[in-house]
Amino acid sequence: MDPNPALTPATTVQLALAGNDLALRPADRDLPALAARLADLGVPTVVDRHRGALRAAAGCYARLRASGLPLEVAFDDHPALSFGPSPVLLPRDYQRAAVDAWLAAGGSGVVELPTGAGKTYVGVLAIAALDLRTLVVVPTIDLLEQWRRALCELLPAPPEAVGVLGGGEHRPAEITVTTYQSALIYPRELARYGLLICDEVHHLPADSFRRITQGAWARHRLGLTATAERSDGRHVDLEELLGPVVYRRSPGELTRSGSLARYREERRYVSLSTEEAERHARAVRTVREYLRTVRLPASRRAGRGVYELLVQRSAGDPRAREALLAYQEARTIAWNAAAKVEVVERILQRHRAEPVLIFCESNEMVARLARTFLIPAVTHETPHEERRWVLSALRSGAISKVVTGRVLNEGVDLPAVAVAVLLSGNSTRLEYVQRLGRILRPKEGEAVLYEVLTRNTGELGQSARRHAGLSTED
């Protein structure tokens, strides 16, 4: 028996855009019956008395189309491009397979490919396959510019058909590239497109950024990332926001097939000096003494779980605050161990003639290495023009060594770099895959990633966690 008899199968529902919402008006004007039916479908609504309609988030559009409701769509939900996209490059086998898998899933879902595997071109192929007005959302200005070039050169799209929102520009077009932040600032722009592409999609589940998918009605959605995994576990939300992972390839798989550079990993171990070891031991002792006073679930007795607990408790517990500062000090001592500078010197001598990228977790170590070896540094504090010059010089060969923090983890194309030094890092697989990807662009010869770890510190556990489930054989 129909639980909402007033909403008969013959009752059509007009569906229109209302700003960043959808307005639904049943032909029989029975809003309560329609609201009940939509609630059964998991689509929350509010009454718009001015329109005599119900309003739902634009992001519910695909669910409504698949619901079986007799909809009369009062807007163009298939806005075609004015030009005929015809990608200029022959796709690699896995790129073609990724797009085919995505199309087979209805044009919604996430593609996981290692950094260096050409995820941007997968997006280009997806746009060409659907021939729809498209919004591309990226996390950084570097990626914004990279996508703009790719769309103009590889789709290829006329320059006037590729717009930009972000980086000081406000010029939407048939295909618009925007940053996550700008997409939130200009929400009305979300309602112009039939395809939504989110690059580095692991950013999307954040409380603020997920509003992008809620404000976009686009039926077709593509997420691109090296790995969707997040340390907070929110990657599971991506299936609801964009769709499931429809295609995945690991660095090892693409290396064996010749699609990415062959690489090897080498670990170097250093010890703390006597003074560093004493400071480290005091800091660890402070943390352990505090943890003995609290009940900590087994799942939180190491690494991130301890840190999150201390952060949560530090606001109202002075002893937790003291333990948090000690925890941070212990990590910093391990990250910045003086012996690591000597290891870096030997690596730089070994690769004197090759481009080398050095990753650090703290800006203090970035600055120390830049001063010691007279090499350029790039951090989040580096002015944009200076950063652009450094990266351009590294690509062209004008300079061959750069030290950086997290800022170059993603969104930077450095095809010439074949040597990376991971001097310190967090425990997430995501960061490790991103940094490894900096050296995997196809090239002659073998790439190498050095991982420098401090003995008898938490760095060993962090390394084990970021390598969990990941190897050159995967």
Can you spell out the DSSP letters for 309-364?
HHHHHHTT-HHHHHHHHHHHHHHHHHHT-HHHHHHHHHHHHHTTTS-EEEE-SSHH
Please give the single-letter amino acid code of residue 332: T
Q: Provide the residue-wise pLDDT of the chain in tens; the chain has 474 residues.
A: 344 445 555 579 999 999 889 999 998 888 999 999 999 989 999 999 888 999 999 999 988 988 888 999 999 999 999 999 999 999 999 999 999 999 999 999 999 999 889 999 999 999 999 999 999 999 998 899 999 999 999 999 999 999 999 988 999 999 999 999 999 999 989 989 999 999 999 999 999 999 999 999 999 999 999 988 887 888 899 999 999 999 999 888 998 888 888 899 999 999 999 999 999 999 999 999 998 887 665 555 555 678 888 888 888 889 999 999 999 999 999 999 999 999 999 999 999 999 999 999 999 999 999 999 999 999 989 998 899 899 999 999 999 999 999 888 877 778 889 999 999 887 678 788 888 888 888 888 899 999 999 999 999 988 888 877 554 444
**Count of alpha carbons within 13 angstroms of residue 11, beta-carbon side:** 17
Contact assessment for residue 350 and residue 344, using Cβ atoms and an 8 Å cutoff = no
> Both tokens of residue 205?
């589940």
Task: Quote the CA–CA distance of 194 and 209 in Å, as a whole number.
Answer: 19
> Both tokens of residue 41?
């479908």
Per DSSP, the three-state class of 472 is coil
Beta strands in 167-209 (DSSP E): 169-171, 175-179, 195-199
End-to-end CA distance of the chain: 52
Taking the whole predicted model, whether its pTM rises above 0.95 is answered as no
Task: Quote the CA–CA distance of 157 and 161 in Å, as a whole number.
Answer: 6
Task: Quote the CA–CA distance of 411 and 144 in Å, as a whole number.
Answer: 9
Residue indicated by tokens 């997040």: 230
DSSP 404: E
Backbone angles phi, psi at 446, to 5 degrees: -110, 135
Q: What are the structural domains, with CATH classification, of the chain?
A: 13-73 (no CATH), 93-249 (3.40.50.300), 262-271+337-467 (3.40.50.300), 274-335 (no CATH)
Q: CA–CA distance from 240 to each of 111, 224, 281, 359, 411 (Å)?
A: 15, 15, 45, 34, 25
Residue indicated by tokens 């600032």: 185
